[in-house]
Amino acid sequence: MFATDRDLLVFEPRLFNELGFGAQRVAEAAGAGSLDASGSTFTLTGGRFNDWGVSTGWVVLVNDAPLEVVTRFNQTQLYVSRLREDTSQAVIPAAAGTGLNVRVSTFRPQIALIHDMLLRSLGIEPGAAAAPGVLTESAITNPRALVRAECLGTLHLLFAASAPIAGESSIAWAKARSYAERFDQERRRLRAEIDTTGDGSPDALRRPNVERLFRA
């Protein structure tokens, strides 16, 4: 996938608090976590992060504060940060403490739906095996350019799913409509660079459902 849970957090910093009921919850424990003095190493007692697939780009709620997972050190420890403007920036420490509540959940299933939609709109079948004349996801040489579209589409799905519960006059309804419009606009702007020859360099530009060559 192009986007991660952390990327969703950039658009909606309270997403995992407000729509956590719609996420796939993989773990929750009261008083089982601790953050060291640096505020960046989180340790979990009685659980194994690798069993749950937690890795870079995930989000953990520590005492209801969302922290992005920078990397997983081992089975029980994560290197975490408060939300950064960009993943290339230095880690922003959280408050140190012990006996912390932790909840680990993910919106990866919803991201995957939009991911597959975007691939098909670019003429690439999700999960296709590499074969002569068959383009796979690895042919996209600028995957970061698709992150925004994947986030906007996913957020539309999430708020559209919660809107009927909240009612037509709710913020969820308004956000669902807004993200739908922004997703459509982003898809119109999107340009994917494609390597059709397998030499590692892009030789085609594709818009959703449109292909145009730009290199001989």
Query: Is residue 197 predicted with pLDDT exceeding 90?
Result: no
Q: Are 65 and 89 within one domain? A: yes
Mean pLDDT over residues 8-32, rounded?
Answer: 91
Can you list the pairs that 45-50 forms with residues at least 24 positions away whose Cβ atoms lie under 8 Å? Answer: 45/76, 47/76, 48/75, 48/76, 49/75, 49/76, 49/77, 49/78, 49/104, 50/74, 50/75
Give the pLDDT of residue 38.
Answer: 95
Domain end residue (candidates: 82, 106, 130): 106
Q: Are 179 and 101 within one domain? A: no
Give the pLDDT of residue 170.
Answer: 81
Q: Are 97 and 58 within one domain? A: yes
Distance CA 158, CA 14 (A): 13
Residue 125 lies in a domain: yes
Q: Are 71 and 158 within one domain? A: no
204, 196 Cβ separation under 8 angstroms? yes
How many domains, the chain?
A: 2
DSSP 140: B
Residue 65 lies in a domain: yes
Q: How confident is the model at residue 211 (pLDDT cuts 50, 70, 90)?
A: very low
Give the pLDDT of residue 132.
Answer: 80
Reported as a single tens digit per residue, the pLDDT across 112-156 is: 999 999 999 999 999 888 788 888 999 999 999 999 999 999 999
Give the pLDDT of residue 167.
Answer: 66
Which residues lie across from 100 on neighbouring strands? 33
Higher pLDDT, 172 or 9: 9
Q: How confident is the model at residue 73 (pLDDT cuts 50, 70, 90)?
A: very high
Query: Is residue 157 predicted with pLDDT exceeding 50?
Result: yes
Is the dihedral angle over the CA atoms 69, 73, 78, 81 positive or is it negative? negative
Domain end residue (candidates: 74, 106, 138): 106
CATH number at residue 95: 2.40.30
Domain end residue (candidates: 106, 125, 158): 106
Share of the chain above pLDDT 70, in %: 96
Domain of 191 in residue numbering reads as: 109-213
| pTM for the predicted model, two decimal places | 0.90
Query: Is residue 78 predicted with pLDDT exceeding 90?
Result: yes
Assigned token pair, 39 = 């505020």
Q: 18: helix, coil or strand?
A: helix
Q: How confident is the model at residue 214 (pLDDT cuts 50, 70, 90)?
A: very low
Query: Is residue 193 predicted with pLDDT exceeding 60?
Result: yes
Average pLDDT, the chain: 91
Residue 127 lies in a domain: yes
Residue 203 lies in a domain: yes
Q: Are 208 and 119 within one domain? A: yes
